[in-house]
Amino acid sequence: MTFGSGPRITAVGDFRFFAGMRSDPFFADPVGATDKFQWTGQDLFADKNVFGIVLEVPNRALGPNSQVGVWARVLVPHDGRLVQGDRAGRPGIDANFNQDDRDKRVWNQQGPAHDREGFLDKFAHVFEGAGHPKDRATALAESLLPDLLMYDYASAEGFPNGRNLTDDVINMGIAQLSNGAVPHDGLRPHTDLRMDFPFLGEPH
């Protein structure tokens, strides 16, 4: 693990691994977002750090099909065992679409295989509330569920094909949800990213 500025990297063949404190690459204005999109112009994450895990693998390790779906989960101790307490695929899905604490709890304790069964109508309702016609709202909800970050390693395109650290995923998501009605927040990617592995900048 690395807690200083110089990353300690473990490499075996074409595989590389890093874990440690780094500069948070995420950029967003959550204060403005919660104030009816009255943007403050301030990136809340500009001076924040994150404990990052970075794994680099060759495409062949992902299998013969170039299209893969990725999701991550967090396990927490409970009554002497580990249980799933959080999960994520695409950025911002839980925060933007799950409307109450019960939905958030159920969502984060299950896997993507059950997403359409329990949440398709609820996601479509959010899109309808943002002004999309019913059929369009349903189609958009179907495009987000199951919540997997899709990646085609045969393509160099960024989000929603994987996610580059410089991809403006928050504004992309808001534009989709609002059908382009909300203006851009004006924020840009962080400039402390590295060009080489592990790509995340030095911690603040």
Residue 102 reports pLDDT greater than 90: yes
Banded pLDDT at 1 (limits 50, 70, 90): confident
* pTM score: 0.89
Phi, psi of 109, deg, nearest 5: -100, 0
Nearest-angstrom CA–CA distance, 28 and 158? 18
Cβ-Cβ contacts under 8 Å for 188 (sequence gap 6 or more):
27
- Provide the residue type at 107 as one letter: W
- Provide the residue type at 141 as one letter: A
Helices (H) and strands (E) in the chain, counts: 6, 7
- At residue 57's C-alpha, the angle toward residues 172 and 62, to 5°, is 80
Partners of 22 in beta bridges: 50
Residue 151 pLDDT? 96
What does the pLDDT average to over 90-118? 95
Partners of 69 in beta bridges: 150
Nearest-angstrom CA–CA distance, 49 and 201? 9
Residue 4 reports pLDDT greater than 90: no
Residue 171 reports pLDDT greater than 90: yes
Partners of 19 in beta bridges: 53
Report the Cα–Cα distance between both ends of the chain, in Å, rounded.
17
Q: What is the DSSP letter of 172?
A: H
Whether 49 contacts 203, CB under 8 Å: yes
Residue 127's CB is within 10 A of a number of other CB atoms, namely 23
113-149 confidence digits (pLDDT tens): 999 999 999 999 999 999 999 999 999 999 999 999 9
